[in-house]
C-alpha cells in the first residue's frame, strides 16, 4: 500500500494553483494476482476529444520499459518531464497502489477520462487496462480493469 | 599485483559468485527446454500466412509473439477476458499454456537482483564485475604458472586443491569471461546507461479505414516467420490505430484499411549489440551455447572452495610480507626455503630493514626462482633451512633443478645463509648444497656461506652486519621470532614405561581440543591430522619448538604422543611430569612425507623406543587391513614394551600382519636391525614386490637399519637411497 499526500507538481496541466479550485482525490488501484513480476502503471488523463491532457502517476522507475505502456508512450513520446516528481516503484501482483493528489475541479464532469496503461515483464502489454470517465457520479465506484488491474476507484 | 586482483574479489565475493553461478546454470536449462518443446516452424512460411491461420483459429487475437527459441504465442481478448496460448504455427491452433514458468521467473529474479530490486541488481553487477576481474587476472596467473601462453594446457604439479582450481579455470574461463562481460552490459542497459533505446518510428497518418486482410499486407507477406518478434493488432474499435510489426531488423507500422506500410525504422547498431549480448548471456536464441555456459558456471563454486584452500594454505605457510616489491622492479631478491615457516619470519625482518635502507626488496619462495623475471636485481640472498637428511624444505623444492637448467647464472652476486640445528648430523646440509651449486654454476658470491643455529637472533644480527658492509649500508637485523599460534591440549591419561631400564617413557593421551567452525571447515590445525604428523611444543623461555610424532589421527578422537624423558631435557621433562587434567600449549605441524602412500602395497614399519608412536598409530587406523609388518626395538620386554597389549589385539583383528621384536637387554640382547637381518629373505621379497618402508625413532637406529637393508637389497640391484628417491623409503628420525 502506497500513500502519497503531496500535492501534484504544478507543472502538470491538471492542477491549479488555488487550493479552492482543487480537491484532494484518492486513487486506489488494486492489481490481480496475475503471477508475474511487478507491473509498470501509467495513470493519465485524456480530454473530451481523446487528446492526452497529463499524467497523474508513473509506477516504475526504468525509462527503458516505458515503451511497453504503449498508449501513454505514444501520447507523450516517453518524455521524462511528463513524470518528473511523480514516479514511484512498480506494483507487485495482488498489491494495491493508493495515491492522493489535488485535482482541479474543472476536470470533473467535463468529458475527461482517466486511463491506466499496464505492462509486466515477459507478459502481454496492456495499454488502456482501465479507462473511466471523471465524473462526480463515478466517484467511489470500483471499475474493473481488462488484464492486470482488478479494480480502480477514485474517491473525493 | 595480479595475484592481489585475483585474491580479494575471490575471497570477498565467494558466496555471491557461487549463488550467481548456480542460479545462472539452472537458468540455462530453460531456453534449451523451450527450444526442444516448441513445434518447428516451416522457415519458408511468411508472417502473413501464420498470422492468418492464427486469426481464423482465434478471431479475437490481439498480439502474436515469437520468442528467440521459436515458440509462437498468441494473446487475445474474448468477451472482455484476456487469453493467451502457445500456438502450433502449422495450424494456428492453441496447443498449450503460455503462462510464464514460475520457477524460471523466481530463478531469474534471484539471479539478477537477489529479490532486492535495484539494490540487488547493483550487487549482482558487482558480482559480475568481480567475476570479470577474476577471469582476467586468473588467465594471467595460469599463463604465469604454466610458463607461457603456448603451454596453456601443460600438465600441472603441486597440491591437489591448486591443481583442481587451475584445471577448472582452464576449461571454464572463456565462458565466465563471456557471461560476466555480457552481464555488465545488460545491467548498463537496464539502468539506461547505454544509448540502446529504440529509434522513433516516423509514420504517415492512417487511412481511417478498416478491414484489410493480413495476406494483403506486403510487409507481412515479405517477411519470413522466423524473423518475427511481435505483431500487434489494432484496437478493434479504433480505426486510427495500426498494425505494429517488430522483427529482427526493425519496427514497422501497417495501415489496417489499406494494408500498406506506413513507416519503418531499423534497429540501431546499439539495439542490435544489446540483443546479441542478451542472446549470449541468456542462451535465448542460442540454447546450446547457453547450456555450455551454464555447465562452465558450475565450476565457479568448486573454484571458490579450492581457491580458498590454496589461499589459506599460502597464508599458513608464511607471514605476510608488507610492501613486497614487484619482481621486475626489485634490486634485492630474497629467496626463502622454509618448511615450518620460521625462515619466512627472518626474511620479513631482512626485507623490512633493507626497505628502510632504501632498497626495493622482492621476497619469494626458492621454488619460484626465475631470474628472467627479476632482471633489475643487483643482489640475490638465499635463506634456506634443511630437513630430513640434508633435504630441501617444502618452499625450496625444485630450486636446484631450476638453477642447473639456467644457461648462465645471474650476473648479480648471491649470498646463501643456512638455517639449521646443530643437533642434526648434517647441519645446514641443504643450504650448503645450494651454495656449492651456485659456485659450480659460476654465480658470483656476495658473502661467504654462513649458518644460523636453531633460529638464533644473535647469529642473524651478526650476519646482517656483514651483509650491510657488503652492500655499503648500516644494517641492524633485530629479529623477534613470532611464536606459532598454539592450542591448549589437556592430558586425559598417561601410561608409564621403562623406569627399570633407565628409559622413562610415557604414552600421553590428550583430549581433542574444541575447534571453531572455520577451523573445522578448512581442516586447519587440530581439525585434521594423521599419525606421523607432528605436534610442536614451545617450552617456556625457549624460542625453539620441540617436535613429537603423533601416534593418533584426528579420527581416533584424541591426540597421542610417546615421550622419552631426557636427563635435563626441558620439554621432555615437562611433558613426562604432566598429570591428567593438566594442560599444555601445542601447535600442529603436518609431516606429509611421513604418510604412507595410498593403495594396498604392504608396509614395513621399523621403529625403536618412542619411534613406535606413529607406527602404532598407522596400525590402529588400518581399517582396510592393508598388510603391515612391524619391527620394534625396545630395551626389555617387561619394562618398555610400548603398546604391547594393543599390538596383540590389533594382530588378532588383522590390522597388524606380523610383529617382530628385539630387546637390547635381557636374555638374548638384540637390536632391531639384527631382527631385520634374520628376516632378510622375506623382506627382500616384499620390497621386490613393491612394499614401502617407514622408519621412525633415533638417528643411530635409523642408520643401523639403513645399513642392514642396504646389504639385503644389494643383490637385487637396489639400495635405500634409490628407494628414498622413489618415495618408497621414508624416515622420521631425531
Ligand atoms: C621430527 C621429530 C620428531 C620427534 N618425535 C619425538 C617423539 O615422538 N618422542 C620423543 O620423545 N621425542 C621426539 N623428538 C625429540 C624431541 O623433539 C626433543 O628433542 C626431545 O624431547 C628433547 O627435548 P627437551 O626439551 O627435553 O631437551 P632439550 O632441553 O632441548 O635438551 C636436548 C638434549 O640436550 C641435553 N641437555 C640439556 N641441557 C643440558 C645441559 N645443561 N648439559 C648437558 N646436556 C644437556 C638433554 O639431555 C637432551 O638430551 C622428535 C624430534 C623431531 C625433530
Ligand atoms: C624434521 C626435521 C628435520 C631437520 N633436519 C635438519 C637437518 O638435517 N639439518 C639441519 O641443519 N637442520 C635440520 N632441522 C632444523 C631446521 O632446519 C631448522 O629448525 C630451521 O630453522 C627450520 O626453518 P623453517 O621453520 O623455516 O622450516 C630439522 C628440523 C626438523 C623439524
Which own/partner contact pairs does B83-90 have at CB distance under 8 Å and 24+ positions apart?
A: B84/A124, B86/B38, B87/B54, B88/B39, B89/B39, B89/B41, B89/B42, B89/B45, B89/B50, B89/B53, B89/B225, B90/B39, B90/B41, B90/B42, B90/B53
User: C-alpha grid cell for residue B453?
Assistant: 643455529
Q: Quote the pLDDT of residue A2.
A: 33
Q: Quote the pLDDT of residue A16.
A: 46
How many other CB atoms are there within 10 angstroms of residue B552's CB atom?
Answer: 24
Q: How far apart, in whole angstroms, are the C-alpha atoms of residue B600 and residue B631?
A: 19
**B100 chain-A contacts, CB cut-off 8 A:** 35-36, 122-123
Helix (H) or strand (E) holding B389: none
> E strands along A68-133, which residues?
87-88, 96-104, 113-119, 126-133
Q: Does A123 touch chain B (CB under 8 A)?
A: yes
User: CATH classification of B596-733, choosing from 2.60.40.3880, 3.40.50.720, 3.40.50.80, 3.40.50.2000?
Assistant: 3.40.50.80
Q: How far apart, in whole angstroms, are the C-alpha atoms of residue B720 and residue B728?
A: 9
Q: How far apart are the first and last CA of chain A?
A: 19
Q: Which CATH fold topology does B320-471 show? A: Rossmann fold (3.40.50)
Q: How many CB pairs under 8 A join A and B?
A: 37
Q: What are phi and psi of B50, to 5 degrees?
A: -65, -40
C-beta of residue B338 within 8 angstroms of C-beta of residue B385:
yes
Which own/partner contact pairs does A153-156 have at CB distance under 8 Å and 24+ positions apart?
A: A153/A27, A153/A28, A154/A25, A154/A26, A154/A27, A154/A28, A154/A114, A155/A25, A155/A26, A155/A28, A156/A23, A156/A24, A156/A25, A156/A26
C-beta of residue B545 within 8 angstroms of C-beta of residue B538:
yes
C-beta of residue B308 within 8 angstroms of C-beta of residue B161:
no
Instruction: Give me the residue label for grid cell 581457491.
Output: B307
Q: How far apart, in whole angstroms, are the C-alpha atoms of residue B437 and residue B20?
A: 52
For residue B425, give the ligand nearest its CA. 2
Asked whether the CA dihedral B376, B380, B386, B392 is positive or negative, the reply is positive
Length of chain A: 156
- Residue A30's DSSP bridge partners are A96, A151
H helices within B114-252, ranges in order? 117-146, 160-190, 218-222
- Find the CB nearest B75 among A35, A89, A124: A124
Q: Quote the pLDDT of residue B100.
A: 78
Classify A127 as helix, strand or coil. Answer: strand
Compute CA B706 distance to the chain's CA centroid, rounded to the nearest angstrom. Answer: 38
Ligand 1 geometric centre to CA of B572 (Å): 6
User: C-alpha grid cell for residue B602?
Assistant: 604392504
**DSSP string covering B631-658, please?**
EEEES-TTT--TTHHHHHHHHHHTS-SE
- Asked if pLDDT for residue A19 goes beyond 70, the answer is no
Asked whether the CA dihedral B265, B269, B270, B275 is positive or negative, the reply is positive
> B293: distance to nearest CA of chain A, Å?
23
Rg (CA), chain B: 37
Helix pair B29-37, B2-27: axis angle to 10 deg: 30
Q: What are phi and psi of B505, to 5 degrees?
A: -135, 145
Which of A5, A93, A100, A94 shows the shortest CA–CA distance to A43?
A100
Q: pLDDT-derived band of residue A6, with 50, 70 and 90 as boundaries?
A: very low
Ligand 1 geometric centre to CA of B29 (Å): 64
Which of B578, B582, B564 shows the shortest CA–CA distance to B698?
B564
Which of B236, B230, B259 shows the shortest CA–CA distance to B75?
B230
Q: pLDDT-derived band of residue A17, with 50, 70 and 90 as boundaries?
A: very low
Q: What are phi and psi of B289, to 5 degrees?
A: -60, -40
Which of B661, B674, B658, B531 shows the shortest CA–CA distance to B602?
B658
Q: Quote the pLDDT of residue A82.
A: 86
Q: How far apart, in whole angstroms, are the C-alpha atoms of residue B665 and residue B197?
A: 95
Q: Quote the pLDDT of residue B492.
A: 96
Atom of ligand 2 nearest to the CA of B389: 8
C-beta of residue B393 within 8 angstroms of C-beta of residue B352:
no
User: CATH classification of B487-593, choosing from 1.10.1200.10, 1.10.3720.10, 2.40.50.100, 2.40.30.10?
Assistant: 2.40.30.10
Atom of ligand 2 nearest to the CA of B732: 1
Q: How far apart, in whole angstroms, are the C-alpha atoms of residue B482 and residue B702?
A: 33
Compute CA A147 distance to the chain's CA centroid, rounded to the nearest angstrom. Answer: 15
**B235 chain-A contacts, CB cut-off 8 A:** 128
Q: How far apart, in whole angstroms, are the C-alpha atoms of residue B214 and residue B254?
A: 10
Classify B727 as helix, strand or coil. Answer: coil
Which of A24, A47, A29, A42 shows the shortest CA–CA distance to A104?
A24
Classify B626 as helix, strand or coil. Answer: coil
How many other CB atoms are there within 10 angstroms of residue B155's CB atom?
Answer: 8
> B211: distance to nearest CA of chain A, Å?
22
Q: Which CATH fold topology does A2-149 show? A: Immunoglobulin-like (2.60.40)
Q: How far apart, in whole angstroms, are the C-alpha atoms of residue A92 and residue B473?
A: 72
Q: Give the B-side interface with A, CB within 8 Å.
A: 62-63, 75, 77, 80, 82, 84, 99-100, 102, 105, 109, 117-118, 189-192, 197-198, 200, 232, 235
Q: How far apart, in whole angstroms, are the C-alpha atoms of residue B194 and residue B190?
A: 9
Q: Quote the pLDDT of residue B157.
A: 58
Hey, of A64, A76, A118, A128, which one would you mutate to test binding to chain B, going by the most B CBs within 10 A of its CB?
A64
Global pTM? Answer: 0.59
Ligand 2 geometric centre to CA of B432 (Å): 13
Domains B320-471 and B596-733 share a fold: yes
Mean pLDDT (10-residue bins), chain B, 734 residues: 78 91 95 88 90 94 90 84 87 88 91 90 95 94 78 72 88 96 95 85 84 94 94 84 92 94 94 94 92 95 90 68 87 92 92 94 92 93 89 87 92 96 86 96 95 91 94 90 85 94 94 78 76 91 86 94 94 95 91 82 96 97 94 94 95 95 90 93 92 93 94 92 84 87
Per-domain boundaries in chain B: 2-32+104-195+301-310, 40-89+198-267, 320-471, 487-593, 596-733
Q: How far apart, in whole angstroms, are the C-alpha atoms of residue B350 and residue B515?
A: 35
C-beta of residue B251 within 8 angstroms of C-beta of residue B223:
no
C-beta of residue B392 within 8 angstroms of C-beta of residue B358:
no
Classify B221 as helix, strand or coil. Answer: helix
- Residue A133's DSSP bridge partners are A113
Q: How far apart, in whole angstroms, are the C-alpha atoms of residue B190 and residue B196?
A: 10
For residue B426, give the ligand nearest its CA. 2
Which of B642, B662, B661, B611 shows the shortest CA–CA distance to B496?
B642
C-beta of residue B436 within 8 angstroms of C-beta of residue B390:
no
Could you tell me which residues come within 8 angstroms of residue B79 by beta carbon, excluding any fewer than 6 positions away? none
Q: How far apart, in whole angstroms, are the C-alpha atoms of residue B586 and residue B566?
A: 19
Which of B451, B421, B420 shows the shortest CA–CA distance to B435?
B451
- Find the CB nearest B100 among A35, A62, A64: A35
ipTM score assigned to the predicted complex: 0.76
Q: Quote the pLDDT of residue A13.
A: 44
Ligand 2 geometric centre to CA of A31 (Å): 75
Q: Quote the pLDDT of residue A9.
A: 34
Burial class (CB within 10 angstroms; exposed 0-12, middle 13-18, buried 19+) of B725: exposed
Question: Considering only alpha carbons, which residue of chain B is nearest residue A37?
Answer: B105
Which of B363, B361, B358, B325 shows the shortest CA–CA distance to B343?
B363
Amino acid at each position: 500500500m502506497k500513500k502519497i499526500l503531496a500535492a501534484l507538481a504544478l507543472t502538470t496541466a491538471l492542477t491549479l494553483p488555488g487550493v479552492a479550485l482543487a480537491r484532494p482525490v484518492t486513487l486506489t488501484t488494486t492489481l490481480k494476482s496475475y503471477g508475474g513480476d511487478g507491473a509498470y502503471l501509467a495513470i493519465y488523463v485524456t480530454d473530451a476529444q481523446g487528446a492526452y491532457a497529463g499524467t497523474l502517476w508513473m509506477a516504475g522507475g526504468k525509462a527503458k520499459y516505458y515503451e511497453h505502456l504503449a498508449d501513454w508512450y505514444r501520447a507523450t513520446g516517453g518524455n521524462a518531464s511528463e513524470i518528473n516528481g511523480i514516479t514511484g516503484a512498480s506494483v507487485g501482483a495482488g498489491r494495491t497502489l493508493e495515491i492522493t493528489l489535488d485535482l482541479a475541479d474543472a476536470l470533473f464532469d467535463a468529458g475527461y477520462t482517466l486511463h491506466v496503461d499496464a505492462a509486466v515483464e515477459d507478459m502481454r502489454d496492456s495499454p488502456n487496462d482501465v479507462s473511466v470517465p471523471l465524473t462526480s457520479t463515478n466517484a467511489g465506484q470500483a471499475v474493473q480493469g481488462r488484464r492486470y488491474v482488478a479494480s480502480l476507484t477514485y474517491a473525493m | 599485483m595480479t595475484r592481489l586482483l585475483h585474491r580479494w574479489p575471490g575471497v570477498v565475493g565467494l558466496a555471491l559468485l557461487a549463488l550467481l553461478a548456480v542460479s545462472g546454470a539452472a537458468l540455462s536449462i530453460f531456453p534449451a527446454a523451450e527450444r526442444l518443446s516448441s513445434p518447428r516452424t516451416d522457415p519458408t512460411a511468411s508472417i502473413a500466412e501464420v498470422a492468418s491461420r492464427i486469426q481464423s483459429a482465434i478471431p479475437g487475437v490481439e498480439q502474436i509473439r515469437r520468442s528467440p527459441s521459436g515458440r509462437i504465442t498468441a494473446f487475445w481478448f474474448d468477451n472482455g477476458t484476456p487469453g493467451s496460448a502457445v500456438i502450433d504455427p502449422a495450424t494456428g491452433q492453441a496447443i498449450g499454456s503460455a503462462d510464464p514458468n514460475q520457477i524460471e521467473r523466481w530463478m531469474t529474479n534471484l539471479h539478477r537482483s537477489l529479490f532486492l530490486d535495484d539494490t540487488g541488481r547493483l550487487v549482482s553487477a558487482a558480482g559480475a564485475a568481480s567475476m570479470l576481474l577474476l577471469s582476467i587476472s586468473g588467465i594471467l596467473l595460469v599463463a604465469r604458472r604454466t610458463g607461457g601462453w603456448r603451454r596453456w594446457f601443460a600438465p600441472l604439479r603441486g597440491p591437489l586443491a591448486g591443481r583442481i582450481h587451475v584445471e577448472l579455470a582452464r576449461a571454464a574461463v572463456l565462458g565466465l569471461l563471456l557471461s560476466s562481460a555480457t552481464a555488465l552490459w545488460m545491467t548498463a542497459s537496464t539502468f539506461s546507461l547505454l544509448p540502446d533505446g529504440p529509434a522513433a518510428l516516423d509514420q504517415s497518418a492512417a487511412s481511417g479505414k478498416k478491414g484489410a486482410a493480413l495476406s494483403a499486407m506486403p510487409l507481412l507477406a515479405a517477411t519470413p516467420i522466423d524473423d518475427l518478434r511481435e505483431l500487434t493488432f489494432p484496437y478493434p474499435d479504433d480505426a486510427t490505430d495500426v498494425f505494429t510489426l517488430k522483427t529482427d531488423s526493425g519496427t514497422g507500422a501497417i495501415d489496417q484499411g489499406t494494408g500498406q506500410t506506413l513507416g519503418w525504422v531499423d534497429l540501431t547498431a546499439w539495439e542490435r549489440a544489446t540483443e546479441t549480448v542478451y542472446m549470449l548471456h541468456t542462451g535465448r536464441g542460442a540454447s546450446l551455447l547457453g547450456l555450455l555456459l551454464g555447465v562452465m558456471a558450475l565450476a565457479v563454486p568448486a573454484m571458490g572452495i579450492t581457491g580458498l584452500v590454496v589461499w589459506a594454505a599460502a597464508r599458513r605457510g608464511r607471514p605476510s610480507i608488507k610492501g613486497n616489491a614487484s619482481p621486475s622492479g626489485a634490486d634485492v631478491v630474497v629467496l626463502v626455503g622454509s618448511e615450518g615457516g620460521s625462515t619466512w619470519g627472518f626474511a620479513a625482518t631482512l626485507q623490512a630493514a633493507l626497505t628502510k635502507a632504501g632498497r626495493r626488496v622482492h621476497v619469494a619462495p626458492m621454488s619460484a626462482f626465475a631470474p628472467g623475471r627479476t632482471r633489475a636485481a643487483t643482489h640475490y640472498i638465499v635463506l634456506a633451512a634443511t630437513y630430513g637428511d640434508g633435504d630441501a624444505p617444502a618452499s625450496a623444492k625444485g630450486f636446484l633443478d631450476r638453477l642447473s637448467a639456467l644457461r648462465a647464472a645471474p650476473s648479480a652476486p648471491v649470498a646463501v645463509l643456512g638455517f639449521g640445528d646443530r643437533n642434526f648430523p648434517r647441519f645446514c646440509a641443504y643450504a650448503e648444497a645450494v651454495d656449492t651449486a651456485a659456485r659450480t654454476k659460476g654465480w658470483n658470491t656476495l658473502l661467504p656461506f654462513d649458518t644460523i643455529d636453531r633460529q638464533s637472533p644473535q647469529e642473524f644480527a651478526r650476519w646482517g652486519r656483514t651483509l650491510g658492509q657488503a652492500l655499503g649500508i648500516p644494517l641492524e637485523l633485530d629479529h623477534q621470532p613470532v611464536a606459532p599460534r598454539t592450542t591448549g591440549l589437556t592430558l586425559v591419561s598417561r601410561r608409564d614405561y621403562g623406569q627399570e631400564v633407565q628409559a622413562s617413557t610415557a604414552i600421553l593421551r590428550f583430549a581433542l581440543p574444541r575447534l571453531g567452525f572455520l577451523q573445522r571447515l578448512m581442516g586447519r590445525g587440530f581439525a585434521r591430522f594423521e599419525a606421523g604428523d607432528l605436534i610442536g611444543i614451545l617450552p617456556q623461555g625457549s624460542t625453539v619448538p620441540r617436535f613429537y610424532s603423533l601416534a593418533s589421527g584426528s579420527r581416533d578422537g584424541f591426540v597421542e604422543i610417546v615421550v622419552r624423558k631426557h636427563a635435563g631435557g626441558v620439554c621432555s621433562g615437562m611433558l613426562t611430569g604432566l598429570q591428567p587434567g593438566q594442560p599444555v600449549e601445542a601447535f600442529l605441524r603436518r609431516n606429509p612425507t611421513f604418510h604412507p602412500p595410498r593403495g594396498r602395497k604392504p608396509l614395513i614399519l621399523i621403529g625403536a623406543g618412542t619411534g613406535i608412536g606413529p607406527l602404532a598409530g598407522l596400525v590402529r587406523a588400518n581399517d582396510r587391513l592393508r598388510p603391515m609388518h612391524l619391527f620394534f626395538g625396545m630395551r626389555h620386554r617387561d619394562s618398555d614394551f610400548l603398546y604391547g597389549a594393543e599390538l596383540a589385539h590389533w594382530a588378532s583383528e588383522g590390522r597388524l600382519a606380523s610383529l617382530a621384536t628385539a630387546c637390547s637387554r635381557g636374555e638374548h640382547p638384540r637390536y632391531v636391525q639384527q631382527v631385520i637381518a634374520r628376516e632378510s629373505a622375506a623382506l627382500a621379497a616384499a620390497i621386490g614386490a613393491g612394499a614401502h618402508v617407514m622408519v621412525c625413532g633415533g638417528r643411530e637406529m635409523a642408520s643401523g637399519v639403513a645399513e642392514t637393508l642396504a646389504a639385503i637389497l644389494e643383490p637385487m640391484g637396489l639400495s635405500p637411497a634409490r628407494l628414498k628417491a622413489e618415495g618408497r623409503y621414508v624416515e622420521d628420525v631425531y
